């Protein structure tokens, strides 16, 4: 339920950095969460910390933040071969290697992005031709931050792509690609904190389950500053946790297929 908050009308003004056709550069935001103190405080406190920076600060990014695209799925339940994709976990717990690049490519949906990790068992697949067509926009690279950007229950979930095999993401997932991989893992970890999640929640638009957060608003989120030592430690601990989860799932898959 929305909380009551009183602010100046001018506080509702939000500048669009890249307004779409037909939209004004300056817009008024009347979403209740945008004005509630718990979410405003998360933004303001982080912004006022010396050394803080925004997720979309172009000096740290390889490219502007963007969403993936709607995949043209290649998998067919009546054709088992199409269900296989490069990087898929085999019965023995290893991931499929495709040196000849003949297998389909992993396609990640929003349900694949969990709280801090990626569940590839829920992925589908696309063909190599489609992958090449959308590679520049929707393909992910190792150390990319992936953020669920639509839907009650899934919006705001964050993970880092920690694999070497190719993959694409659908239009419900936002890709944030940093120049410094260690910074990417730190930013992803921050976005999962209470302060990070409150900032994400402030910029959510819509209601009744039809909610989303746009790339330009993810870019506005302020990140808590940290020393290089702290960033290094967060990177190692978080990445180690993801590696352990992947090992767990591969071992579990192998064990279950022995029965």
User: How many CB atoms within 10 Å of residue 156?
Assistant: 23
Could you give the 3-state DSSP secondary structure of residue 246?
Answer: helix
Confidence of residue 21 (pLDDT cuts 50, 70, 90): very low
Q: Which helix (H) or strand (E) holds 249?
A: helix 228-256
Q: Is the pLDDT of residue 28 over 50?
A: no
Position 8 scores a pLDDT of: 58
Q: Is the pLDDT of residue 153 over 50?
A: yes
Could you give the 3-state DSSP secondary structure of residue 167?
Answer: strand
| Cα dihedral: 109, 196, 163, 172 (round 10) | 20
User: How many CB atoms within 10 Å of residue 12?
Assistant: 14
Residue 92 has which token pair?
């023995």
Would you say 88 and 96 are in contact if contact means Cβ atoms under 8 Å apart? Answer: yes
Residue 110 has which token pair?
């929003």
- For the stretch 172-198, pLDDT in tens is 999 999 999 999 999 999 999 999 999
Q: Which domains does the chain have, with CATH numbers?
A: 15-256 (3.90.220.20)
Q: Is the pLDDT of residue 115 over 80?
A: yes
Q: State the Cα–Cα distance between residues 166 and 91, nearest whole angstrom.
A: 20
Q: State the Cα–Cα distance between residues 39 and 46, nearest whole angstrom.
A: 11
Would you say 223 and 55 are in contact if contact means Cβ atoms under 8 Å apart? Answer: yes
- For the stretch 224-236, pLDDT in tens is 999 999 999 999 9
Which stretches does DSSP call E strand in 74-215?
A: 105-108, 124-126, 145-148, 158-160, 167-169, 173-176, 205-207, 210-212
Would you say 200 and 150 are in contact if contact means Cβ atoms under 8 Å apart? Answer: no
- Mutual orientation of helices 194-202 and 37-47 as an angle, nearest 10°? 120
Position 252 scores a pLDDT of: 97
Q: What is the mean pLDDT of the chain?
A: 91
């Amino acid at each position: 339920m929305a909380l009551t908050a009183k602010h100046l009308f001018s506080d509702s003004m939000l500048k669009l950095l890249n307004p779409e056709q037909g939209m004004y550069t300056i817009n008024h935001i009347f979403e209740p969460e945008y004005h509630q103190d718990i979410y405003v405080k998360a933004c303001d406190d982080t912004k006022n910390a010396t050394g803080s920076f925004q997720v979309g600060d172009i000096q740290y990014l390889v490219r502007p933040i963007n969403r993936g695209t709607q995949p043209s799925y290649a998998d067919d339940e009546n054709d088992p071969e199409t269900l296989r994709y490069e990087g898929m976990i085999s019965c023995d717990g290893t991931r499929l290697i495709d040196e000849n690049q003949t297998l389909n490519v992993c396609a990640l949906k929003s349900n694949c992005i969990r709280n801090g990790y990626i569940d590839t068992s829920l992925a589908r697949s696309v063909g190599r031709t489609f992958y090449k067509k959308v590679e520049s926009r929707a393909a992910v690279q190792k150390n990319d931050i992936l953020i669920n950007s639509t839907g009650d229950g899934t919006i705001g979930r964050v993970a880092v792509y920690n694999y070497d095999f190719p993959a694409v993401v659908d239009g419900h997932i936002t890709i944030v690609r940093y120049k410094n991989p260690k910074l990417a893992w730190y930013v992803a970890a921050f976005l999962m904190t209470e302060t990070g999640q409150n900032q994400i929640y402030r910029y959510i638009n819509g209601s009744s389950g039809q909610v989303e957060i746009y790339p330009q608003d993810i870019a506005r989120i302020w990140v808590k500053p940290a020393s290089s030592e702290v960033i290094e430690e967060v990177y190692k601990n978080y990445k180690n946790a993801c590696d352990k989860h992947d090992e767990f799932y591969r071992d579990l898959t192998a064990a279950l297929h022995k029965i």
